[in-house]
Each structure stands twice: as structure tokens, then as C-alpha cells.
């Protein structure tokens, strides 16, 4: 993905990469409770500075996602055994419209923007997760199951509460982890109710540069990066 020459160092310290607009990087998620990467999405950097990392996931991008060991999609497994049935990873394409992802440094969530065909804005999606860890080729996180969906009329609702509860029962989160995720969820809820950033920033009107190519999924998408500062 991003070559060393495309990485700009900042006053925050050596080893913390900043990327120019248009740079392809990887946005990855580790398995819960482990170090293995099981989700990898090539994205294009829209903005990267002290306040925000914004990236574009284009339609048709080749990605890596979890799959059951027998090849079935994860969502087809009953919830009671969804997190205990053996898994592998699968390469596939990101279908539908593209997604804009926004992450502020240190926040335990990222905000994703979805559109219908024809650029009719659909909703924001607040994905509760570990604050992003940056490395030379991209960013890593760990998903926390519980999410919020926010609509243009400012209404909102919780998503995946059943998956969050099942993950807790199956030991993918302990009680302290669960409390931390709920606290993050409450903070995200307060941000929505106050209609703070990024909901007031006009990102729903943003459009990608048509000259950007769709980034390729590298063969070493699951390589372990050197330790990096958050």
C-alpha cells in the first residue's frame, strides 16, 4: 500500500504516519481477543491531519472479510453459535455504493456515511471500536459489536445489541470490556443528541475525486506491522 515516500511525519513524533490525499492505505480489524487480522479494506485517504482521518471505500473494492470454515457467510450462522463456529477469511468485493469513513484521533468509534444510488444520502453509522492504531500501511482496530445508526432527520437507534450480548456470553468481551463499550456508546449518543462533529460538518455533500483508482488488495494484507503509536 502506501510507500514510505507518501508518508509525512508530524510534530507528534516519528513513527506516526500522515498520508497525502489520494494515498491508498488499508483499514483493518483484528479478531476480538486476538491479533489475527480478519477484515482488510483498501481505502483512499481523503483527509489526514491532527483532527481527522477520512477515507473512501469505493464500490467494487476487493476486501477480506470473515467467513465460516465451511464457506458460508457469517450472518447465516444462528446467533447462539455465530462466534464459536470455526472461521476463516474470504476475499470478496464491496458491493453497493461506496462508504466514507471518518475517525477522530483517540475516539473509540468511527463514523461511516452511506448513500443510495444517485448520491441520495442514506445515513451515518457509528461503529464502536478500539481507537485506530496507525502503521506505515494503514490503520488497525477491533470491532466492539454495538453500533448506532443516525438518520438525516437526526433520529437514531442502537444496532446489533443482540450480537453485543452474545459476544459477552461467549467471552469475546469481559465485564470490564462491556462496561467500557457501553460508556463509549453513551458518549457517542451524547454527540449525536448534541448534533456535534462530524454530523454538522457537511460530509454528506462530499464526493470522491473521479480520477482516483480503486485501490488493490495487497497480497500481504495480513502482515503484522511494527508497533506504532496511537
Q: What pLDDT digit, counting tens, does each position of 122-153 carry?
A: 999 999 999 999 999 999 999 999 999 999 99
Phi, psi of 216, deg, nearest 5: -90, 150
- Return the pLDDT at 16: 63
Q: How many angstroms separate the CA atoms of 154 and 216, rounded?
A: 36
Burial 89-123 (b: 16+ CB within 10 A, else e): bbeeebeebbbbbbbbeebbbbbbbbbeeeeeeeb
Q: Strand 53-57 relative to strand 120-129: parallel, antiparallel, unpaired?
A: unpaired
CB-CB contact of 168 with 56 (8 Å): no
Q: Give the start-to-end residue ranges of the domains of the chain.
A: 19-205
User: Which range is least confidently modeled, 3-17, 36-50, 140-154?
Assistant: 3-17
The CA-CA-CA angle for residues 91, 181, 158, to 5°, reads 75
Q: Give the architecture (CATH level 2) of 19-205.
A: Beta Barrel (2.40)
- Return the pLDDT at 4: 40
* pLDDT averaged over every residue in the chain: 91
Q: How many angstroms separate the CA atoms of 217 and 203, rounded?
A: 26
Q: Is the pLDDT of residue 46 over 90?
A: yes
Amino acid at each position: 500500500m502506501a510507500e514510505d515516500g507518501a508518508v509525512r511525519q508530524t510534530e507528534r513524533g516519528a513513527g506516526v504516519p500522515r498520508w497525502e490525499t489520494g494515498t491508498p492505505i488499508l483499514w483493518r480489524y483484528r479478531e476480538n481477543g486476538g491479533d489475527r487480522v480478519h477484515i482488510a479494506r483498501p481505502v483512499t485517504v481523503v483527509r489526514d491531519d491532527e483532527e481527522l482521518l477520512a477515507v473512501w471505500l469505493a464500490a467494487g473494492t476487493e476486501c477480506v472479510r470473515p467467513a465460516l470454515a465451511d464457506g458460508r457467510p457469517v450472518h447465516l450462522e444462528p446467533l447462539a453459535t455465530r462466534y464459536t463456529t470455526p472461521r476463516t477469511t474470504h476475499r470478496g468485493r464491496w458491493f453497493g455504493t461506496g462508504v466514507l469513513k471518518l475517525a477522530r484521533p483517540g475516539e473509540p468509534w468511527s463514523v461511516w456515511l452511506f448513500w443510495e444510488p444517485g448520491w441520495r444520502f442514506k445515513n451515518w453509522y457509528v461503529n464502536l471500536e478500539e481507537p485506530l492504531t496507525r502503521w506505515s500501511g494503514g490503520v488497525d482496530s477491533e470491532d466492539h459489536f454495538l453500533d448506532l445508526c443516525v438518520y438525516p432527520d437526526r433520529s437514531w437507534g442502537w444496532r446489533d445489541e443482540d450480537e453485543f450480548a452474545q459476544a459477552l456470553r461467549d467471552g469475546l468481551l469481559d465485564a470490564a470490556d462491556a462496561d467500557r463499550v457501553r460508556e463509549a456508546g453513551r458518549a457517542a449518543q451524547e454527540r449525536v443528541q448534541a448534533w456535534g462533529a462530524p454530523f454538522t460538518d457537511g460530509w454528506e455533500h462530499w464526493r470522491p475525486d473521479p480520477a482516483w483508482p480503486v485501490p488493490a488488495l495487497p497480497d500481504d494484507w495480513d502482515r503484522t506491522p511494527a508497533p506504532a503509536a496511537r
